[in-house]
Chains A and B, each alone.
Chain A
């Protein structure tokens, strides 16, 4: 059980982390600009994909794509959080935290709270785009709440991976180097195309890609309906990524403290 003071520290560090991203355009821009542009290009250029045989019945291609754009944005938020943490390490700011009487994990939790806030922001951003362009949310307000919750939880899980890489490498350029991987992982999931229409081996990879689980569950309330199976798979995907991130973070932190 965390003490009240530890919660206060985590909250303060989370707020600082979010402010840091908003004040550094090079961290903020990729979260919003890239996914929005990609969404615009894909919806504008490949909108007729919905007419393909085997494409699930949807109101619009935008409605289908919205979940992919949201998760792409949260992946980038995790990456940005990692870059920001690495910048803190490079400029010695983490020493300030490590020399303070706070639990070591509060430093990482604070960063993840910041990433969660960014996830919340991106969820609202893409929901706003959906509303503006007339997307109908089949599951209504409850569906929207579930979408937001999944997006925020995903941001935290992806953020933990970014934080682990930052803690281990201590280098912003190394974390930034992970940026292209985000797109590889996304294109090998159901983010931009239904699984049945992907070619092999992408289809097989997408079937087991935890990202697909999350995207499918975020997509359900927009274009289809809630299914218990998709929801459980999404929670499992988030849990797997989060657990992996937590283990890697703990190991990286131990290493960092050992080498100073």
Chain B
């Protein structure tokens, strides 16, 4: 049985905004699945529907085999959720939050203390456990949020942009913890706007743009779809024409960039050594040589015509979130 099954999932808000537009996906048990897209693409709205916080206006979604609309209580029992912008009460202590979460998930009272201690130890917050959360760093808050989502040992874990705004060290710590959880058998559904995060963590990635999934597959297969590795070569003055001739023998030439010649290697990285030998045989002095693999951003560009970062800058806040705020006023 798949951990998450979604067919034609849709969410329209008042005012005609369609935040999620017919999403289909399936996440296998034990998989790390990443939902990649810029702000406003529909990632958070999708997570809110899958975690029963928002009712879909169309389609069907099942988590751990339970329909999110027909049996939301069963869904809630099987999932752990760490939402965007760690929803923590700054006046509570870390230990109080974990204990509260344990009570919400019906852990027997005699197990609450030991479970809280174990989770705080797991995320390295034992020393800070009795301090108020308001005094925690962003990374500590994220780790605490993650710990609180694990209190009932959920089968499926939803992480909505778990590392947004974190420094590289804190980000790496979260990644390691996510990988460890996955090794222990937890299915992870992760949304992110960071290419590197999706690339490093995910078994499979779905790229979402304007509420629709535009590409889905393993990071490697998605990258392979958009092209082959490129070799970027800078040579000493006086030899570029000759260099162009050599490079053309190994694959399709791409337009030069800032004086750097680029060739798409038809047989991939295996051709680096022959290229270097050929250049050397012709006496061409190479100043720099770099193999550039396609990235998920290239996939995003291929599918949407925009770079992920650029789309992020230009986009409005997530329609789901924005709409909620508007309606709340």
Residues of A within 8 A of B (CB): 5, 8-9, 12-13, 16, 19-20, 23-24, 88-89, 91-93, 95-102, 169-171, 257-260
User: Could you say which of B1-9, B96-104, B167-175, B306-314 contacts chain A?
Assistant: B96-104
- Beyond known contacts A91-B88, A259-B323: 8 more, CB 8 A cutoff: A20-B92, A93-B87, A93-B89, A96-B148, A99-B76, A101-B76, A258-B55, A260-B53
- B window 298-329: CB within 8 A of A: 320, 323-324, 327-329
CB-based contact B320/A260 at 8 Å: yes
Minimum CB–CB distance from B45 to chain A (whole Å) comes to 8
CB-based contact A20/B79 at 8 Å: no
> A101's contact among B48, B73, B320, B324, by CB below 8 Å, is which?
B73
CB-based contact A260/B104 at 8 Å: no
**B54 interface residue per 8 A CB criterion:** yes
**B159 interface residue per 8 A CB criterion:** no
Minimum CB–CB distance from A14 to chain B (whole Å) comes to 12
CB-based contact A101/B329 at 8 Å: no
**B187 interface residue per 8 A CB criterion:** no
**B83 interface residue per 8 A CB criterion:** yes
How many residues on B have C-beta within 8 angstroms of the other chain's C-beta atoms?
A: 36
> B104's contact among A89, A100, A257, by CB below 8 Å, is which?
A100
**B121 interface residue per 8 A CB criterion:** no
By a CB distance below 8 angstroms, the chain A residues around B106 are 5, 101
CB-based contact B89/A171 at 8 Å: no
CB-based contact A100/B101 at 8 Å: yes
By a CB distance below 8 angstroms, the chain B residues around A8 are 103, 109
Residues of B within 8 A of A (CB): 13-14, 48, 51-55, 73, 76-77, 79, 81, 83, 85, 87-89, 91-92, 96, 100-101, 103-106, 109, 132, 148, 320, 323-324, 327-329
CB-based contact B100/A169 at 8 Å: no
**Considering the chains assembled together, what is the distance between the CA atoms of A16 and B99 in angstroms?**
11
Give 7 pairs: A residue, B residue, CB < 8 Å, sorted on A.
Answer: A12-B104, A91-B88, A92-B83, A93-B87, A93-B88, A170-B329, A171-B329
CB-based contact A20/B91 at 8 Å: yes
Name A4's closest neighbour in chain B (CB-CB). B106
By a CB distance below 8 angstroms, the chain A residues around B48 are 260
Best-buried of B14, B96, B104, B148 by chain A (most CB within 10 Å) = B104
**Considering the chains assembled together, what is the distance between the CA atoms of A100 and B54 in angstroms?**
14
By a CB distance below 8 angstroms, the chain B residues around A19 are 91-92
Minimum CB–CB distance from A170 to chain B (whole Å) comes to 3
**Considering the chains assembled together, what is the distance between the CA atoms of A259 and B45 in angstroms?**
11
**Considering the chains assembled together, what is the distance between the CA atoms of A24 and B91 in angstroms?**
8
By a CB distance below 8 angstroms, the chain A residues around B55 are 257-258, 260
**Considering the chains assembled together, what is the distance between the CA atoms of A24 and B90 in angstroms?**
10
**Considering the chains assembled together, what is the distance between the CA atoms of A93 and B323 in angstroms?**
18
> B87's contact among A92, A169, A258, by CB below 8 Å, is which?
A92
Minimum CB–CB distance from B99 to chain A (whole Å) comes to 8
> A96's contact among B101, B320, B323, by CB below 8 Å, is which?
B101
By a CB distance below 8 angstroms, the chain B residues around A95 are 53, 81, 83, 87
Q: Tell me whether A170 and B53 are in contact in the complex, defined as CB-CB below 8 angstroms, given that A92-B85, A96-B101, A101-B73 are known contacts.
A: no
> A16's contact among B79, B81, B96, by CB below 8 Å, is which?
B96
CB-based contact B79/A99 at 8 Å: yes
By a CB distance below 8 angstroms, the chain A residues around B85 are 92
Best-buried of B88, B92, B106, B329 by chain A (most CB within 10 Å) = B106
**Considering the chains assembled together, what is the distance between the CA atoms of A99 and B73 in angstroms?**
9
By a CB distance below 8 angstroms, the chain A residues around B323 are 259-260
By a CB distance below 8 angstroms, the chain A residues around B13 are 259
By a CB distance below 8 angstroms, the chain B residues around A258 are 55
CB-based contact A99/B103 at 8 Å: no
**Considering the chains assembled together, what is the distance between the CA atoms of A155 and B96 in angstroms?**
26
**Considering the chains assembled together, what is the distance between the CA atoms of A171 and B85 in angstroms?**
18
By a CB distance below 8 angstroms, the chain B residues around A12 are 100, 103-104
